Amino acid sequence: MKIPESPPAPATMELITQLAQNPGALRSIRSVDGKGRYLHWDELRRREPPTGLTHETWWSGTSIARLMTARFLPFTGVDGQPFRFCNVDQVQELVHRIDQQASGQIATDEVVTNLQSSDRYLVSSLQEEAITSSQLEGASTTRRVAKEMLQSGRQPRDRSERMILNNFHAMQAAAALAASGEPLTPDAILDLHRTVTHDTLDDELDAGRLQRPEDERIAVVWQDGTVLHRPPPAEELAGRLELLCEFANGMSGDGFVHPVVRAILLHFALAYDHPFADGNGRTARALFYWSMLRSGYWLAQYLTISSILRGAPAQYARSYLHVETDGGDVTYFVLHQLHVLERAIAGLGEYLARKMEEQRRAERLLRDRPDLNHRQGVLVSDALRNPDAWFTIQAQQRRHRVAYATARADLLGLEEAGLFARQLVGKQFVFRPTGDLAARLAARV
């Protein structure tokens, strides 16, 4: 991966001279370009500078404008300089839209708020995030196989499957921690990491343990071998983790930081420090979810951020590189993550619209079947969409969080109604929809 070009040395005197010769260029001295974009030097140098300015003086003016409005954070880079971000219009607009989307129409959608289905969608979303977050860091298990493992409750067969199962448990742990109202502590982060990495590390003692001074310090390396980031020395990690917790709990004296931005900054800070031998990205994303849920953004538990990151990993990496090569300006990462979050919310809206239509179609077929309970209705709906699917008692139990006897009765009831057929596969029974399921429903068999 190509490292973005670092900004040139300040050209302050040249800027003053050029502004004196072209006073109108002063209007171009802003944090963003004429289109409102927050450009890194590597992007700005490829665009036409304002009349009367060179690329170098344009950048100097832009940097000065940003420093004048920057918010400095308690975190520092490896060079000791504090990180900072600018609350530019684009940040405010994105945060406002996310607030609206996360608390408006989509948050009151009948599918999400329906008590009979919310647990089902929550489990499905957690599974999706667990899978893609692990795939983002190297898990090779396919989505279909991973879903089958999580839904059936079977034990993982290899390291990739174990990564996914661990991540699923970590997401649940982050949600439970947020619900408890307890402040974030270094021990809580270590517990999250221990959950994320259980039985997946070369040295199991590294699970839930910060890297030590005698360890070979982990670095962030791109697929082609390019070193993208060398994190702070291990001697600093314990202190930096304490500082991160203070910031997470709003105790660092940093004033008001919008909750969504705070969650993103937590994600950045842990990933930047890279305090663990492995599992840093997964732990950072779990912290993001914890912070969002703790701040009341309950919709966050239905979002699958990692699927978007996995679709464009270079953009994710570049947002970090822009921060490092521009003196610790975290605005690039904040903007990237806000766009990702907005896309995830939009994706959830599309998913819910699709599910609502599927639910309506199924309800039309099931309307005259009062003998089926809502869980059986879900099974039949799934079977109508996936005629080749098969279902087990254990999967039904986990999916709806019901007792084994209840899940068993659901499936046996569908068999008795002539809608599902049972067969023995290995040592367990599986249930498959009949080939003419829709016709049987329509005929009220």
pLDDT digits (tens, 9 = 90+) for 270-315: 999 999 999 998 999 999 999 999 998 888 877 877 777 777 888 9
| Structural tokens at position 38 | 């927050």
129 and 58 both lie in a single domain? no
Measured CA to CA, the distance from residue 382 to residue 285 in angstroms comes to: 30
| H or E stretch covering 76 | strand 70-76
Q: Are strands 70-76 and 82-86 parallel, antiparallel or unpaired?
A: antiparallel
Which residue in 225, 219, 217, 222 sits closest to 316, CA to CA?
222
pLDDT (0 to 100) of residue 140: 64
| Structural domain boundaries, residue 56 | 12-72
Q: Is residue 413 part of a domain?
A: yes
* Number of domain units in the chain: 3
Give the CA dihedral 233, 239, 242, 246, nearest 10 degrees.
-100
203 and 272 both lie in a single domain? yes
pLDDT (0 to 100) of residue 115: 36
What residue type is assigned to position 35 of the chain?
K
pLDDT (0 to 100) of residue 189: 98
pLDDT digits (tens, 9 = 90+) for 112-156: 555 344 555 556 666 777 677 667 666 667 767 777 777 777 888
pLDDT (0 to 100) of residue 29: 93
Q: Are 332 and 319 in contact (CB under 8 A)?
A: yes
136 and 49 both lie in a single domain? no
Measured CA to CA, the distance from residue 69 to residue 72 in angstroms comes to: 10
Domain boundary pick from 20, 37, 72: 72
pLDDT (0 to 100) of residue 157: 87
68 and 85 both lie in a single domain? no
| Structural tokens at position 71 | 């918010």
278 and 411 both lie in a single domain? no
CATH number at residue 384: 1.10.10.10
416 and 439 both lie in a single domain? yes
Q: Are 391 and 379 in contact (CB under 8 A)?
A: yes
Measured CA to CA, the distance from residue 100 to residue 22 in angstroms comes to: 42
Exposed (0-12), middle (13-18) or buried (19+): which is 283, by Cβ within 10 Å?
A: buried
Which residue in 167, 102, 155 sits closest to 129, CA to CA?
167
Domain boundary pick from 350, 385, 405: 350
Q: Are 288 and 305 in contact (CB under 8 A)?
A: yes
238 and 345 both lie in a single domain? yes
266 and 339 both lie in a single domain? yes
Q: Is residue 6 part of a domain?
A: no
Measured CA to CA, the distance from residue 437 to residue 425 in angstroms comes to: 21
68 and 84 both lie in a single domain? no
Give, in order, the Cα–Cα distances in Å from 377 to each of 148, 382, 414: 20, 9, 10
445 residues of the chain, pLDDT tens digit each: 889 999 999 898 999 999 899 898 899 999 999 999 999 999 999 999 999 999 999 999 999 999 999 999 999 999 999 999 999 999 999 999 998 886 555 555 555 555 344 555 556 666 777 677 667 666 667 767 777 777 777 888 888 888 888 888 888 899 999 999 999 999 999 999 999 999 998 899 999 999 999 999 988 888 788 888 999 999 999 999 999 999 999 887 778 899 999 999 999 999 999 999 999 989 999 999 999 999 988 888 778 777 777 778 889 899 999 999 999 999 999 999 999 999 988 888 887 777 667 667 766 777 767 788 989 988 988 888 777 788 999 999 999 989 999 999 999 999 998 999 998 887 888 999 987 787 787 666 4
Measured CA to CA, the distance from residue 329 to residue 320 in angstroms comes to: 10
pLDDT (0 to 100) of residue 359: 61
